[in-house]
Structure 1
Amino acid sequence: MSPDPAPLSGRQPKAVRSALAVLEEVVAAGPGVTAKEISGALKLPPATTYRLLNLLVAEGYLVRLPDLRGFALGRRAARLSVPVTTRPPAAARAIVGHLRQQVRWGVHLASFRTGRIVLLDGDPDHPPHDEALLARYPHASALGKLLLADQADWRAAVRGLRQLTAHTVIDADRLDAELARCREDRLARQCGELHADRGCLAVPIHDVTDGTLVAGLALSGPPDRVAEPNTELLDRLREHAAQLAPLLA
């Protein structure tokens, strides 16, 4: 018979909760989050944060990035969740492919089911932005703005309005007004806010049964064309998004 496990001390449950909170913060913030950012977000003392990070790295739940400036999930962290299939059905991929044939823009389909941006079908001829970058800085992408516009309190979903280019919107009141227009127009855009040489338009895709936001369909192209898109282009984008809705429910 195995011996009874030693009882937990009074401090151990708190330490376990703190370690789990650190893991959650790395998931939420995305690869590259620093110890200082984690400490600030969780309001943990820096020494405690570093101790927990070192433990999680040693156990394989986190890894230090090569430049030693941030952390990302490690191999063992993948065992904590049920694998999620991110490949859309064939019929949905066909609709996305049809839109690509009609426009010269990059066409990307993303899911919002997990509460963050997950690329389902990125255009291979016009590679999308890095998924971790999109997830970490939703205020700087059109897909991210769709997701933020759907939140009851978008500020709770953003960890600082970091300026990535000279065009990134970092004023909270200005972003608030932009998200209000996004909800009203059912259209989000960014003109060189994530990378200066590329812009993006995105429209929401809602569940046909309950109306919840489930995905976004985006076009990426030159920032000047994103700023003044023609009506025909927007009509095609919305038409294909409507066709995708019942397939992604």
Structure 2
Amino acid sequence: MTSPRDPLPLSGRQPRAVRSALAVLEEVVAAGPGVTAKEISAALRLPQATTYRLLNLLVGEEYLVRLPDLKGFALGRRAARLALPVTVAPPTAARAVVDHLRGLVRWGVHLAWLGAGQVTLVDPDPDHPPSDAALLARYPQASALGRLLLAEQPDWRALVRDLRVFTEYTVSTPAALTAALDRVAADGLARQCGELRADRGCIAVGVRAPGDGRLVAGLALSGPAQRVAEPNPELVALLREHADRLAPLLA
């Protein structure tokens, strides 16, 4: 007799269904966000009814998400967890750029990779420790670096576990987060004001590959929350200038 903790026995058809589901997942990875059920069905030579059942299953389990226009699919939150982020130390020249910025400002300066669907700090400021790295990776919506990453996604829900509230200032509704990410996409500057810690805030800009504009990293300044709300133009210009210097070094 099977106990509640025992895995359910596999029937003869289940291994084949598992393989088909994994093939669908791989096809979404290969084709990229927006691939349709019809395209997946044709590529894998699966009956459309089977493809739709597998897609619905993978969406229900959060390995895939439907895009807002309902015309295609993208990887979901749980799929992002299948790949371990590869943490590679930035080159010496890039660290020198970050250190140069630290010498010009009194704020904390942090550099993070934004690959593998999460924020990975690779050069946190030793004199101004950032928020816990695991917290930044787990709740990207509550950090400026995380919002850079989310603003690049076809649907931010693919990478957000839940809209956890940390302080009274934390953005905690889908509408408010969508509006915040729209602002990031519009002006290329992300910010959070007292959302992880009431007394601290952060602004960040993306570091993009010179050739294709791909987002590869984020450069952030952390400081008093009240100053983050309205950072002076000179400070933002310094941040953007150093992000531009980093681009050919990190791409």
The two structures have a TM-score, normalised by structure 2, of: 0.68
Paired letter, 2:109:
V
Paired letter, 1:86:
V
The equivalent residue for 2:95 is: 93
Task: Report the CA distance shift for 1:165/1:82 in structure 2 as closer, same or farther (over 3 A).
Answer: closer
How far apart, in 2, do the equivalents of 1:125 and 1:191 lie? 20
How far apart, in 1, do the equivalents of 2:10 and 2:180 lie? 50
- Give the CA deviation at 1:85: 4.5
- Give the CA deviation at 1:42: 4.0
How far apart, in 2, do the equivalents of 1:171 and 1:90 lie? 41
- Give the CA deviation at 1:146: 0.6
How far apart, in 1, do the equivalents of 2:122 and 2:153 lie? 21
Task: Report the CA distance shift for 1:85/1:145 in structure 2 as closer, same or farther (over 3 A).
Answer: closer
Q: Quick one: which of 148, 151, 156 aligns to 2:150?
A: 148
* Alpha-carbon RMSD: 2.5
- Give the CA deviation at 1:122: 0.3
Task: Report the CA distance shift for 1:86/1:232 in structure 2 as closer, same or farther (over 3 A).
Answer: same
- Give the CA deviation at 1:171: 1.4
> What do residues 24-43 of structure 1 show as CA deviations (whole Å, max 9, x unaligned)?
xxxxxxxxxxxxxxxxx848
The equivalent residue for 1:190 is: 192
The equivalent residue for 2:113 is: 111
- Give the CA deviation at 1:82: 8.3
Paired letter, 1:206:
R
The equivalent residue for 1:55 is: none
Contact 2:83 2:116 in 1 (8 A): no
How far apart, in 1, do the equivalents of 2:85 and 2:155 lie? 29
Query: What SS does the aligned partner of 2:210 have?
Result: coil
- Give the CA deviation at 1:83: 8.7
Mapping for residues 1-249 of structure 1, pairs under 5 Å: 10=11, 13=15, 42=61, 84-249=86-251
Structure 2 portions without partners, runs of 5+:
1-8, 23-59, 63-81
How far apart, in 2, do the equivalents of 1:180 and 1:9 lie? 46
- Give the CA deviation at 1:98: 0.2
Query: What SS does the aligned partner of 2:205 have?
Result: strand
> What do residues 103-145 of structure 1 show as CA deviations (whole Å, max 9, x unaligned)?
0000000001222111110000001111110011111100011
> What do residues 187-212 of structure 1 show as CA deviations (whole Å, max 9, x unaligned)?
00000101111100000111112211
Aligned residues: 184
How far apart, in 2, do the equivalents of 1:169 and 1:83 lie? 26
Percent sequence identity over aligned pairs: 63
- Give the CA deviation at 1:155: 1.6
Structure 1 portions without partners, runs of 5+:
1-7, 21-40, 44-79
How far apart, in 2, do the equivalents of 1:230 and 1:13 lie? 59
Paired letter, 1:220:
S
> What do residues 17-66 of structure 1 show as CA deviations (whole Å, max 9, x unaligned)?
9xx9xxxxxxxxxxxxxxxxxxxx848xxxxxxxxxxxxxxxxxxxxxxx
Paired letter, 2:115:
R
How far apart, in 1, do the equivalents of 2:146 and 2:84 lie? 24
